[in-house]
Amino acid sequence: MAFPFAPFTVQPTAARWATALTFVWLAAGVLVAAESPRPWPAAPQFRPLTTERIAAMPAAAQPPWRAYLAASNRLAAALPARDAFVTPSLLKLEGAGIPGKHSLGLQLSAEPAWYATNAAQEIAGRVVARQTRAGAWTKGNDYTSVLVISPLKADVWSGGTLDNDATTWEMRFLARVAAAAAPGDVRVAGWREAFLRGLLWLSAAQYPNGGFPQIYPLAGGYHDAITFNDDAMTQALELLRDVGVGRAEFAFVSADLRADATARLTRGIACIVAAQLRDGGGRRTVWCQQHDMLTLQACAARNYEPVAACTNESAALVRFLMTLEPPSPEVATAIRGAVDWFKRTALQNLVWTRQGGSGQLLAHPGAPALWARMYEIGKDRPIFGDRDRTVHYSVAELSSERRNGYAWYGVWPAVAIEGFAVWVQQNP
């Protein structure tokens, strides 16, 4: 669901952090740093799924989790041995930001006729060739060039991932190319078989409570957390939704698999609602980038991604929830709580720019509402992380590599807020 952007009004107190992002004025008129950086808390900020953790659960809750972990371990044992999870270096970097890995060539917004072209079909063939033995895809594949077939590197990602649009985009692309193919095209069976393998991987990867890890089979570390980051779980549920209702390109999926997709969608929605953060007064707010798979508590991920309320991922979750018809009372409450929080935390009269290659937050009267990517939970003030696991209250304090290599500010919630204006009329 997409909605046009339009200005909106925020409460006067919503911009309180806009004037204190980097500095505060003392009574004597001295300009000082707003607050010193702090390290991550000493307690573990993320925990993998283990037999020991499952054993600590109530006895009645253990069986599905034991079965899940056993299935993950069996699949991992059947694949080439992978490197174990290693905590990334805590060394800060300077210079240009290191970009994320995204696959190339998977157009999902092309004109329908394009999916019947030789160009699209060649890419579909390369997509099939790069499917992992587990049934998913890795990230960062270049589908625009001829592939040199070689053994895939056996690292934590090699079984498959939902990170950076991986797997769900490949599946959607294959389904569209197969649907657009001429009658009798013998390649259709292979494209659809690869899609169905991906669908089975997606089903196997889903946790018993409806969440999705970043990587499956499980790889340990923060990868095991329920991952909203970069819309991983959101895109998985959107795909299950479209498969379940039998959208045209998925009409070939059997009735049993469509029903299973719908059941898994329902489970995933319940997980989203249950994981939603609450403020000190019990009001529902938004979500962290990752949540623990067992406790649903907010948790950290990469060294520069501390525990935080996150606007980008939360905006995507709200847009997804607003597509559900009719929304359950629980879903409606989740939507309203998140939108209210977006309005309270909007920053006014500021722009985030990378002019000259350096990220800067600048005053700009009349600028559209802006949001930080991360907010400190309970205090609703912007925070920023660096590779040494420090949390900062000013983006200017970050190493140049992290300041320039991450989307620290954006207008992500604006579309959700505008969409809410339409949704609330339909769901008073």
User: Which residues are marked as active site?
Assistant: 164, 302
Burial class for 201, CB neighbours closer than 10 Å (0-12, 13-18, 19+): buried
- Is-contact 250 243, C-beta < 8 A? yes
**For the chain, percent helix, then strand, then coil, each to nearest 5?**
40, 10, 50
Tell me the two tokens of residue 296.
């649903």
HSE-CB at 131 with a 13 A cutoff on CA atoms is 28
Burial 122-146 (b: 16+ CB within 10 A, else e): ebbbbbbebbbebbbbbbebebeee
Other beta carbons less than 10 A from residue 394's beta carbon:
18
CA 248 to chain CA mean position, Å: 26
The CA–CA distances, whole Å, from 9 to 14, 122, 348, 418 equal 10, 49, 10, 11
For residues 188 and 206, give the distance between their C-alpha atoms in angstroms, rounded to a whole number: 27
Measured CA distances, 35 to 18, 343, 379, 390 (Å): 14, 25, 13, 13
